[in-house]
């Protein structure tokens, strides 16, 4: 391939490469929501890891140190609040965390914000809303 074409090809792939360097951990027990989020995030070039409950979420977050965690509030074994509390205590550099929930209560949102969540998204949500938050937090 001529050098000019090689250079052009390399330039085109840079935006996807920049996103693919970012790793996102999805922690949710709802398989449909996980698959929807994973499909959209991988299409944007992010590397996605999945945990199906709070305990798996803590273990993966502490082992892999993702760039961002998308965390459901209501899960088996360990709630999103307990995961959030643990990650805020155990990490020297705080992980970026988006909490997603179907819960309508304003007390829950206030508590999540007090614990230091970076964004709070109510289910159901448009995937564009998630992508906007992910993009902003990983910028």
Q: Give residue-wise pLDDT tens across range 76-126.
A: 889 999 999 999 888 788 899 999 999 888 999 999 999 999 999 999 999
Determine the pLDDT at residue 3: 47
DSSP for 65-121 reads: --SEEEEESS-SSS-HHHHHHHHHHH-SSPPEEEEEES---HHHHHHHHHTT-SEEE
In a domain, 127, yes or no: yes
In a domain, 63, yes or no: yes
Cα(55)–Cα(27) distance, rounded to whole angstroms? 10
Q: Is residue 12's pLDDT more than 50?
A: no
Q: How many separate domains does the chain show?
A: 1
In a domain, 6, yes or no: no
In a domain, 49, yes or no: yes
Domain of residue 23, CATH code: 3.40.50.2300
Determine the pLDDT at residue 19: 67
In a domain, 7, yes or no: no
In a domain, 10, yes or no: no
Instruction: List the domain range (segments joined by +) for residue 97.
Output: 18-138
In a domain, 112, yes or no: yes
In a domain, 97, yes or no: yes
Query: What does the pLDDT look like over 29-74, one tens digit per residue?
Result: 999 999 999 999 999 999 999 999 999 999 999 999 999 999 999 9
């Amino acid at each position: 391939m001529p050098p000019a074409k090689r250079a052009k090809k390399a330039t085109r792939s840079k935006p996807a490469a920049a996103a693919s360097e970012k790793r996102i951990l999805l922690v949710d027990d709802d398989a449909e929501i996980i698959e929807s989020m994973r499909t959209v995030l991988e299409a944007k070039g992010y590397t996605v890891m999945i945990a199906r409950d709070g305990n798996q979420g803590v273990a993966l977050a502490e082992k892999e140190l993702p760039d961002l965690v998308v965390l459901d509030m209501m899960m088996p074994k360990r709630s999103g609040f307990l995961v959030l509390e643990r990650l805020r205590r155990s990490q020297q550099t705080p992980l970026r965390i988006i909490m997603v929930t179907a819960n309508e209560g304003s007390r829950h949102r206030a508590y999540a914000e007090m614990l230091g969540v970076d964004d709070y998204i109510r289910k159901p949500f448009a995937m564009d809303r998630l992508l906007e938050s992910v993009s902003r937090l990983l910028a």
